[in-house]
Chain A
């Protein structure tokens, strides 16, 4: 039984990490901030920071390299977990006021989303080609600027760094009475970045881009749909709540085959699992087989054309055979299911 939503647990963990760093600042515990979180020699260096300083200094620091390898290994094991469970940026963004979008921008957004989903159609892109987007350009820009100017330029404006820098100057203000322009400049840059670029994480963040590239090697805890529970496969309902829940990355779990690399961007935030009305999405340690068999795409296609028919068939099958799923989840889930169906229908009518 799950009482807590993943988003609450995530908020808690992010705040805890920030608290540990804050306590480290105050009590001088030598834990560092997120650029190199850790104690003593064992620390997790920011992989982007490592690459930047290596290019800037044109020298290899063994210790930093060891720390870098450790982080890369972590990303391979856990995937892009950092982005959802540790990084404070999404949380701050949630607290900041939302900038009202102009009609033109909304249109562009819709187009971009459409282009993204087209990208992920079978044949929409070369198979196996890494999904390169604007973030990767910014990543290239960060590395280039570090190499050209001889210092990690992106670190100056990195919102993660600025967050903790702001916390530190705040502590110095109250603890030591130090006043500095920094106190205004850091939050100003931070807010500017995160309010103007609402989609900082998915469109700009070079650290996320770097982690995504490595996360391609990740095979553990990848989201997987239990087809016997999923409304699309078990009852033929055109449900896409998991896709809608994945607001930041826009991954459609129902069709991950469309783009092999789409799951590289998965931060394992579990929002899709929470959104699923039948709790069909799981994050197994190791997926036993490919996440979605090919015929699922076809089932979806039939579902779109003849919803009623398939639903009836599925319900019949459920009544006779494996009705256990519905029984276990009880009445609440049934209402949720109806809701889900109605939402999808509304969105469909809007489209037409």
Chain B
């Protein structure tokens, strides 16, 4: 028998089961999503405070629609449950010019975000908003195979790539803001110029966090 006669609330056992079950389920999903681990992602301008972005993002996909270059995509579930549908950048599609062409250097993604999940700090400029950092895999690079490719060096808007004496490109991380132009134009996986074992373009933009972890890993290996 259900105790529907409870004065005031009318809480039946069934209501309680659904209510408590739902609450526990939500807490469970929250815990799993939070602690199951997720991949660091390159975020659009204003999304550099990861904790703030995750807290405020409604997953409304407005930034995705507003982006004039189409570099913003929504994160897939492969990037971690907590990241699902949050904005990230796919430099294979295009690169982020900080809306230089589209909106006079004021990123539209920041302007349309209804919850200010994407928000720029005071004094933010194209140069100091770091979306990620270029990362060069020398084995995959045509320049490093001495095949004369200098596309990234020529195109980089921040002069963040230098050429050494043998015409091999090198990234200057301090100058790079992760706009993704180099990744976008890197021909290393195209035009029949495959390098054995290459799974990605030779130059890619990595999230700052990924590079930090990578550096730690390498330091650890060197110590051993």
Interface residues of A (CB under 8 A from B): 24-25, 28-33, 35-36, 40, 43, 45-46, 49-50, 53, 56-58, 61, 63-64, 67, 108, 111-112, 114-115, 118-119, 124-126, 129, 131-134, 136-138, 140-142, 144-146, 148-157, 161, 164-165, 168, 172, 176, 178, 180-182, 185, 203-204, 206
> Which of A29, A31, A35, A144 makes the CB contact (< 8 A) with B58?
A35
* 21 A-B pairs in the complex with CB atoms less than 8 angstroms apart: A25-B65, A28-B70, A36-B62, A50-B58, A53-B55, A57-B52, A64-B115, A111-B2, A115-B2, A118-B5, A124-B10, A126-B7, A141-B24, A141-B26, A145-B30, A150-B54, A153-B29, A153-B30, A178-B73, A180-B76, A204-B22
19 further A-B pairs in the complex, CB-CB below 8 A; given A108-B14, A133-B15: A32-B61, A33-B61, A35-B59, A35-B61, A36-B60, A56-B55, A63-B114, A64-B115, A134-B17, A137-B20, A137-B23, A140-B19, A141-B24, A141-B27, A145-B30, A150-B51, A155-B58, A156-B81, A182-B77
B104 on interface, CB distance cutoff 8 Å: no
Asked whether B8 lies within 8 Å of A141 as measured between CB atoms, the reply is no
Contact (A151, B34) CB under 8 Å given A126-B7, A134-B18, A141-B26: yes
B85 on interface, CB distance cutoff 8 Å: yes
Asked whether B26 lies within 8 Å of A112 as measured between CB atoms, the reply is no
Asked whether A61 lies within 8 Å of B56 as measured between CB atoms, the reply is yes
Asked whether A140 lies within 8 Å of B23 as measured between CB atoms, the reply is yes
Contact (A115, B59) CB under 8 Å given A40-B112, A157-B29: no
Interface of B is mostly: helix
Interface residues of B (CB under 8 A from A): 2, 4-5, 7-12, 14-20, 22-27, 29-31, 33-34, 51-52, 54-62, 64-67, 70, 73-74, 76-78, 81-82, 84-85, 93, 112, 114-117
Q: How far is the CA of A122 from the CA of B115 in the complex (A)?
A: 44
Asked whether B85 lies within 8 Å of A161 as measured between CB atoms, the reply is yes
> Which of A40, A124, A142, A156 makes the CB contact (< 8 A) with B84?
A156
Contact (A149, B30) CB under 8 Å given A133-B15, A156-B81: yes
Contact (A36, B18) CB under 8 Å given A30-B65, A53-B55, A115-B10: no
Asked whether B58 lies within 8 Å of A153 as measured between CB atoms, the reply is no
B157 to chain A, nearest CB (A): 24
Specify which chain B residues have a CB less than 8 angstroms from the CB of A155 in the assembled complex: 58-59
Contact (A46, B81) CB under 8 Å given A148-B27, A151-B34, A153-B33: no
Q: How far is the CA of A57 from the CA of B70 in the complex (A)?
A: 28
A230 to chain B, nearest CB (A): 28
A265 to chain B, nearest CB (A): 14
Q: How far is the CA of A141 from the CA of B22 in the complex (A)?
A: 7
Asked whether A138 lies within 8 Å of B78 as measured between CB atoms, the reply is no
B170 to chain A, nearest CB (A): 32
Specify which chain A residues have a CB less than 8 angstroms from the CB of B9 in the assembled complex: 132
Asked whether B58 lies within 8 Å of A185 as measured between CB atoms, the reply is no
Specify which chain A residues have a CB less than 8 angstroms from the CB of B67 in the assembled complex: 28
Q: How far is the CA of A58 from the CA of B82 in the complex (A)?
A: 18
Asked whether B70 lies within 8 Å of A64 as measured between CB atoms, the reply is no
A66 to chain B, nearest CB (A): 10
Specify which chain B residues have a CB less than 8 angstroms from the CB of A61 in the assembled complex: 56, 115-116
Specify which chain B residues have a CB less than 8 angstroms from the CB of A50 in the assembled complex: 58, 115
Contact (A67, B66) CB under 8 Å given A57-B55, A125-B8, A145-B30: no
